[in-house]
Amino acid sequence: MISNSLIFSIVTFIYCFAGILYLASWIFKKQLPAKAATWVAWAGLIGNGAGLLLRWFESYEKGSAYGHAPLTNLYESLTFFAFIISSIYLFVEWKYKSRILGALAMPLAFLVMAYASISPGKQIQPLIPALKSNWLIAHVFTCFIGYAAFAIAFAVSIVYLFKSKEKEGKDATVPDQSGALSTGLLDELTHQLIMFGFLFLTSGIITGAVWAYSAWGRYWGWDPKETWSLITWCIYAALLHLRMMRGWRGKRIAVMSIIGFVAVLFTYFGVNLLPGLHSYQ
Amino acid sequence: MTEKKEIRAGFLDSLWNFFVSVRLSVVVLLSIAVLSVIGTVIPQNQNPNYYLKAFGPFYYQLMATMDVFDMYHSWWFQLLILILVINIVICSIDRLQKMWSVIFPKSLNFNLKRFRSRSSRRDFNAGLPVDELKGLFEKRLAKKFSYCKTVSTEKGFALTAEKGRWTRLGVYGVHLSVVVLLIGALIGLKFGFEGFVRIAEGQTVDAIRLRNSGTSLKLGFAIRCDDFNIEFYKGGNRPKEFRSSLSILEDKNVIFEKDIIVNDPLSYKGINIYQSSWERLNKEGPAMQGPQKVPEIIEVKFQSAASGIIYAQSSSLGKTIKIPEKLGLFELKSYLPDASFQNVSLGPVIIGEYTNPKGETQTIRVPFRFPNFDKMRKGDVIISVVANLPHPVPVEPLYATGLQVNYDPGVWVVYAGFVMMIAGCAVTFFMSHQRLVVEVRNEGRAVKVMVSGTSNKGKIGFDMRVQRLADQLAGLVSKSKNKD
Ligand code: HEM
């Protein structure tokens, strides 16, 4: 029988392949590989989603004690993370009819899946008492949508910095026929993604607080993971204000968005090096 | 006198200008972000000795004076939060004053000239009479916009439509939510408490130990732990559930009972009781202790290391036995109901004196429950004892449950802030105030239509929407023309 981890391994390679095609298209300035990459990326996304559903199903197959939505350990959250990254990317590709971001987004999805494959928690384990909560599911779900939006915003910012070397200061316009995004549009896209991510990060922090209140009797405890999510939140809040009220655009916002994503990465991975309640496992 | 007033007014003005600035909020937000890192790198609220060891006396003193070891409660961190709050309040008041006439206008005014000059407008020709277009467009726009109005112009008419004016308030919802949230947190800090109590099964307590001060607090009611259970998943030591059966008592009467588990606390009079930790009070495994009374008949067995033969002999306390094969003498000197060896209980033992053939003596312990114990001595003979003792009975585990006992009257204020913040962000980010103008003009023989719109955010997306809407209107016109 096919198990979810087999599907996830295959998906890892599919994402890798899609990433290579997008990159090839970007480097050699040819449209064809990117067009193929779209199909490959869709296949990866569908496989990724199927893997998540199968894992969910398998957990209930193993016995009712095991059954849970696949969002409760590092392995599961990473595979979900990759799923949302490619979903958001493919949505943006469809909406703006441009494939240039795939050269960063797909390798990112691949790296996340590759990291998942060397992470502990592949086995479906029954939940320890603290993790038995619907608020936990809501918490992980919203956090990772937020993180994925910031990841794509990060990719857009990198593309922006590359492009702004070519031609600076064009206005935001609707994408042209060739699918090249103007720097103005990239800037706008970063902003959209960050607003989307900020809403979900806010919801993620809040559902996490409600969970903490039901499990430990406090909604905020300055645990390193909580603190780092607040740090990330402050950075993006500052970015939104700088853009809205100080008129920051383009390069400066791109740099802020990259700093923000570094904070996201630390919130997610780095904090496990510090002591605290949150370290999975 | 007036001069003084002016100076004061000038001072208030500059204070206002200081707090109204968005630059300040960015600085404060980023300062909070950067300073918060300290508390995640340096563990907070540890024992002073821990810090002394890690940093040495000089830096320890320095950091202790700056409250680095409890930085989230330090005066400087709280000052930052206070500045942020004042900043938000002043700034929001200021913006709201300026936006008031836009959000709540006395009469809706569309500046047609501005719409005509927008670069993203669309113009097309319509071969239908103006009046017919009016009905057609009015019906379509009414579906998409909450407010529509038609005004006549010199050469035709202009349809104005708008929606989402109220969404401009979303951002004030977000800002207010930050204040509400912090007020809720402050209420909890001022009027609430966090405590801990450990209750052994069957015991009742009416006071808890406060986390911050370590002092004891009377609850006004009593908590009894009727039972504690820990369940593990099959084939492992992964815990499945910690469950405490608790009773709440007032004046020795049980008011109510509830089993609590992690993530499902008990709430009584606003005080929440959480499953937090547990402890086993007695030792694991069966009780090893033997009877206090000395067994009357004790069978002593000697196994010769040389021949392997076992010799058994009935005896009793105080007697001396001559061991076969000339292996020496063994005297049963005394009995202990429970001896231990390297902290492990041996249960009942005989303490005997063994004299080897050379005449050297040695005191040895011979446990009833472990016949192979004497092998460890590696002597010429292995001695063991048997008696008619009751079998060891497994002991019922006795647990104590650790409960977190908290009272937070501010939590509902905080939750109200949470809801407000999410709703406010959703409105601010994904809804906008959109205004549309469709102008129809008779230009000689031709009828010209112009579609133009503005939105307070998401300009590109809205421009695309205006284009689509113009397409739809043009389509509507040609459909209607074909019908005729
Ligand atoms: C933690 C604190 C804060 C949060 C979460 C927050 C959140 C927000 C959000 C989400 C927006 C909308 C941005 C956009 O549309 O892109 C916004 C706008 C704004 N914020 Fe804040 N803010 C905070 C603090 C402040 C402070 C301290 C000030 C004071 C100067 C401030 C001033 C403004 C202004 C003037 C706007 C634009 C409002 C408008 O569109 O009229 N914010 N804020």
Per-domain boundaries in chain B: 2-91, 112-164+432-483, 193-282+398-407, 298-386
Regarding whether A77 and A20 lie in a shared domain, the answer is: yes
Q: With bands split at pLDDT 50, 70 and 90, how would you rate the model's confidence at B478?
A: confident
Residues A215/A133, Cβ–Cβ less than 8 Å = yes
Residues 216-245 of A with CB under 8 A from B: 216-220, 222, 224, 227-228, 230-231, 234-235, 237-238, 241-242, 245
Residue B171 Cβ contacting ligand 1 at under 6 Å: yes
Regarding whether A277 and A148 lie in a shared domain, the answer is: yes
Maximum average pLDDT range among A258-262, B259-263, B451-455, B464-468: A258-262
Q: For B146-165, what is each residue's pLDDT tens digit? A: 888 888 888 888 888 888 88
Regarding whether A69 and A30 lie in a shared domain, the answer is: yes
**End residue of a domain, out of A75, A109, A127:** A127
Regarding whether A177 and A55 lie in a shared domain, the answer is: no
User: Is 3.30.310 the CATH classification of the domain at B112-164+432-483?
Assistant: yes
Q: With bands split at pLDDT 50, 70 and 90, how would you rate the model's confidence at B366?
A: very high
Calpha distance B354→B329 (Å, rounded): 6
The CB density around residue B426, as the number of other CB atoms within 10 Å, is 18
Regarding whether A138 and A109 lie in a shared domain, the answer is: no
- Could B421 and A195 be called an inter-chain contact, meaning their C-beta atoms sit closer than 8 Å? no
- What is the DSSP code (8-state) at residue B285? S
- Could A129 and B194 be called an inter-chain contact, meaning their C-beta atoms sit closer than 8 Å? no
**End residue of a domain, out of A127, A155, A181:** A127
* Cα B89 to ligand 1 centre (Å): 11
Nearest residue by C-alpha to atom 12 in ligand 1: B171
Regarding whether A195 and A90 lie in a shared domain, the answer is: no
Regarding whether A81 and A144 lie in a shared domain, the answer is: no
One-letter amino acid identity for B206? D
Provide the pLDDT for residue B118: 82
Q: For B165-175, what is each residue's pLDDT tens digit? A: 889 899 999 99
ipTM score of complex: 0.89
pTM, full prediction: 0.81
Of A125, A220, A274, nearest to B40 by CB-CB distance is A274
Q: For B384-411, what is each residue's pLDDT tens digit? A: 998 888 777 777 778 888 898 999 998 9
Residues of B whose CB is below 8 A from A222: 39, 44, 72
- Could A222 and B29 be called an inter-chain contact, meaning their C-beta atoms sit closer than 8 Å? no
Regarding whether A120 and A142 lie in a shared domain, the answer is: no
Regarding whether A156 and A123 lie in a shared domain, the answer is: no
Residue B31 Cβ contacting ligand 1 at under 6 Å: no
B292 exposure class (CB count in 10 Å sphere: 0-12, 13-18, 19+) = exposed
Provide the pLDDT for residue B212: 77
Residue B178 pLDDT exceeds 80: yes
Q: To probe the interface with B, which of A195, A196, A236 has the most B CB atoms within 10 Å?
A: A195
- Could B44 and A217 be called an inter-chain contact, meaning their C-beta atoms sit closer than 8 Å? no
Q: How many domains does chain A have?
A: 2
Provide the pLDDT for residue A280: 41
Taking CA atoms, what residue in A is nearest to B414?
A: A219
- Could B460 and A172 be called an inter-chain contact, meaning their C-beta atoms sit closer than 8 Å? yes
Regarding whether A144 and A104 lie in a shared domain, the answer is: no
Calpha distance B263→B246 (Å, rounded): 15
Q: Which of A12-16, A45-49, A122-126, B364-368 has the lowest mean pLDDT?
A: A122-126
Q: From start to end of chain A, where are the E strands?
A: none
- Nearest ligand 1 atom to the CA of B177 is 5
Residues B376/B365, Cβ–Cβ less than 8 Å = no
DSSP characters over chain A: ---HHHHHHHHHHHHHHHHHHHHHHHHHT-SHHHHHHHHHHHHHHHHHHHHHHHHHHHHHHT-TTT---S-SSHHHHHHHHHHHHHHHHHHHHHHHT--TTHHHHHHHHHHHHHHHHTSS--S--PPPGGG--HHHHHHHHHHHHHHHHHHHHHHHHHHHHHHHHHS--PPP----TT-PPPHHHHHHHHHHHHHHHHHHHHHHHHHHHHHHHHHHS-S----HHHHHHHHHHHHHHHHHHHHHHS---HHHHHHHHHHHHHHHHHHHTGGGGS-SS----
* Cα A199 to ligand 1 centre (Å): 13
The CB density around residue B308, as the number of other CB atoms within 10 Å, is 8
Maximum average pLDDT range among A194-203, B21-30, B126-135, B366-375: A194-203
Residue B284 pLDDT exceeds 80: no
Of B265, B421, B458, nearest to A217 by CB-CB distance is B265
Calpha distance B319→A137 (Å, rounded): 72
- Could A210 and B272 be called an inter-chain contact, meaning their C-beta atoms sit closer than 8 Å? no
CA proximity to A101, closest of A45, A38, A144? A38
Phi, psi of A232 (to 5 degrees): -60, -45
Maximum average pLDDT range among A246-255, B180-189, B259-268: B180-189
Average pLDDT for B441-463 = 83
Residues B438/B450, Cβ–Cβ less than 8 Å = yes
Cα-based distances in Å from A68 to A62, A142, A209, B52: 11, 17, 21, 45
Residues of A whose CB is below 8 A from B406: 217-218
Tokens of A196: 């989307």
- Nearest ligand 1 atom to the CA of A191 is 16
The separation between CA A118 and the C-alpha centre of its own chain, rounded to angstroms, equals 18
- What is the DSSP code (8-state) at residue B439? E
Average pLDDT for B196-200 = 89
Calpha distance B202→B219 (Å, rounded): 19
Structural domain that includes position A104: 1-127
Residue B1 pLDDT exceeds 70: no
H or E stretch covering A207: helix A183-216
Tokens of B268: 């009584």
Residue A172 Cβ contacting ligand 1 at under 6 Å: no
Provide the pLDDT for residue A170: 46
Regarding whether A277 and A249 lie in a shared domain, the answer is: yes
Taking CA atoms, what residue in B is nearest to A193?
A: B429
H runs (alpha helix) in A97-179: 102-117, 134-166
Average pLDDT for A166-172 = 50
